[in-house]
Amino acid sequence: MNFVLCVHYDIMKNEMINFNSINTQTKVRRLAYVKTLMTMFLKSSYYPINLFYKKIESEAGKQNDDLLKYINNKGFIEVSKTGNSSKPYIETFLALKLLFTQNNMYRISKYGRVFNILQNELDIKTDNYFLLTTYEKAFLLYSILEKDGLYLQLIIELIEEKKQISIKDTKEVFQDFILIKLEESMYSLDMSSKLKKDVLLRIKRIKNWENPKRYLEHIIEPRVNWLLDLGFLCEDNFQKNILVLSEKGLLFFKEIKTSFDINQNFFTLIHRVYFDNTVVSLEKNDFALVTNYLEKSFILFKTSAPNRVTASQAILYTCYMMLFKENRIVNFSTIQDYLSSKENRKFIYDWYKTEQDGSIRRKK
């Protein structure tokens, strides 16, 4: 079985690209805290860096009762004198591009804005703050695959290969497992010299970890807890520190073990993993709905530039609304293709490969 190195596949070059990972700390275990951070930006558009940590700690404390009732209550954000309890979470969501810093201020990113808009538009709740809705799982999974696909996919693959494995054993074997899979990818994938150089550099760094056990603590603990929050691990086994893929986890692994492209397949993947057959594929007459949501994005994501929206925001918003409101599967690339086609008579679409984003304007 070939290891899937990353989440984008360049068909023209026949190679995998953009294998990413982010730095995390052991504490960052509960994905639901993203809601705490994002809702702060409904109150203000920015926060001074030195004040934001304590504000998050104060806000997070309101959810303590729910965390104590959750499947796993590790990863508390507590009130501290320094703000160090919330800092690891803030840094993780910063790395996932849901926040950014500017002039010593934390601000919500373009993707964070999509999250907040959708929270309001979909208005779906669960009985426990830390029990994520299907939409929240989908949104967070998208961000993780984009920015941290390497480690998440490798952990999933290791669990699938072993069928069940303790968290302790996962930490002991994971360094060798990463190296084996990366080295295998050098032979199983037709790589450009640049990509091969990147993989070799990653292999060298992993071999040179000074304290692998300590380093792996910070890699494994957050991500296995994320897999739990996403519904990909069996809860009963997890409470015994044993990792076993749930039915949804097995479906997820099945979807990503081949050439998975987040732009072409992500919402299809979400349908197959989280939904039953009530969701159907997009048909030609459904593009009227797509157009309506793109139109609405001009109001929701209004910018200083008149008659213009950021393409990634409008397209992602439309994809999520089509799936969660209209029960239709439409992927990012499908909307890109539509905007570039003669069928599109309402919008002017520009996409810049170097920025991996663009703009949509209304035709006058």
Q: What is the pLDDT of residue 35?
A: 96
Q: What is the pLDDT of residue 320?
A: 97
In a domain, 351, yes or no: yes
CA–CA separation, 326 and 320 (whole Å): 9
Q: What is the pLDDT of residue 189?
A: 64
Q: What is the pLDDT of residue 167?
A: 96
Same domain, 241 and 103: no
In a domain, 116, yes or no: yes
Same domain, 237 and 284: no
What does pLDDT average to over the chain?
90
Nearest to 314 by CA among 301, 329, 327: 301
Query: Per residue in 308-326, pLDDT tens?
Result: 999 999 999 999 999 999 9
Q: Is residue 213 exposed (0-12), middle (13-18) or buried (19+ Cβ within 10 Å)?
A: exposed
Same domain, 124 and 206: no
Neighbour count for residue 25 (Cβ, 10 Å): 15
Q: Report the DSSP beta bridge partners of residue 47.
A: 106
Within the chain, residue ranges assigned H as helices are 33-40, 49-60, 64-69, 87-95, 110-122, 134-162, 167-188, 193-207, 212-229, 235-238, 247-256, 262-274, 287-300, 311-324, 332-340
- Of 246 and 283, the structure prediction assigns the larger pLDDT to 246
Same domain, 63 and 122: yes
Which one of 95, 110, 131 terminates a domain? 131
Same domain, 97 and 210: no
Contact of 157 with 165, CB cutoff 8 Å:
no
Query: Per residue in 313-364, pLDDT tens?
Result: 999 999 999 999 999 999 999 999 999 999 999 999 999 988 889 999 998 7
Report the percent of the chain where pLDDT is more than 70.
93
Q: What is the pLDDT of residue 318?
A: 98
Q: What is the pLDDT of residue 199?
A: 86
In a domain, 26, yes or no: no
Contact of 221 with 26, CB cutoff 8 Å:
yes
pLDDT band, residue 188 (cuts 50/70/90): low
CATH assignment at residue 52: 1.10.10
Least confident of 39-43, 77-81, 274-278, 296-300: 274-278
In a domain, 22, yes or no: no
Q: What is the pLDDT of residue 82?
A: 84
Which one of 70, 105, 131 terminates a domain? 131
In a domain, 18, yes or no: no
In a domain, 269, yes or no: no
Q: What is the pLDDT of residue 197?
A: 86
Q: What is the pLDDT of residue 83?
A: 83
Same domain, 123 and 137: no
Q: What is the pLDDT of residue 241?
A: 96
CA–CA separation, 214 and 211 (whole Å): 6
What is the mean pLDDT of the segment spanning 298-308?
A: 88
In a domain, 72, yes or no: yes
Q: What is the pLDDT of residue 208?
A: 92
Q: Is the pLDDT of residue 1 over 50?
A: no
CA–CA separation, 328 and 261 (whole Å): 19
Which one of 131, 146, 162 terminates a domain? 131
Query: Per residue in 223-256, pLDDT tens?
Result: 999 999 999 999 999 999 999 999 999 999 998 8
pLDDT band, residue 12 (cuts 50/70/90): very low
Cα 316 to the center of its chain, rounded Å: 13
CA–CA separation, 343 and 330 (whole Å): 16
Same domain, 6 and 139: yes
Same domain, 121 and 58: yes
In a domain, 270, yes or no: no
- Of 102 and 194, the structure prediction assigns the larger pLDDT to 102
Same domain, 121 and 68: yes
Least confident of 52-56, 129-133, 134-138, 285-289: 285-289
pTM exceeds 0.85, yes or no: yes
Q: What is the pLDDT of residue 281?
A: 75
Same domain, 145 and 221: yes
Total count of domains within the chain = 3
Q: Is the pLDDT of residue 48 over 70?
A: yes
Q: Is the pLDDT of residue 260 over 80?
A: no
Return the residue matching tokens 């691990």.
233
pLDDT band, residue 10 (cuts 50/70/90): very low
Contact of 317 with 301, CB cutoff 8 Å:
yes
Q: Is the pLDDT of residue 198 over 90?
A: no
What is the mean pLDDT of the segment spanning 200-217?
A: 90
Q: What is the pLDDT of residue 29?
A: 97
CA–CA separation, 134 and 288 (whole Å): 25
Same domain, 142 and 254: yes
What is the mean pLDDT of the segment spanning 62-84?
A: 93
What is the mean pLDDT of the segment spanning 63-78?
A: 95
Same domain, 237 and 343: no
Nearest to 49 by CA among 102, 96, 108, 98: 102
Q: Which domain, by its residues, includes 313? A: 276-362
Round the CA-based radius of gyration of the chain to a whole number and report it.
Answer: 21
- Of 257 and 34, the structure prediction assigns the larger pLDDT to 34
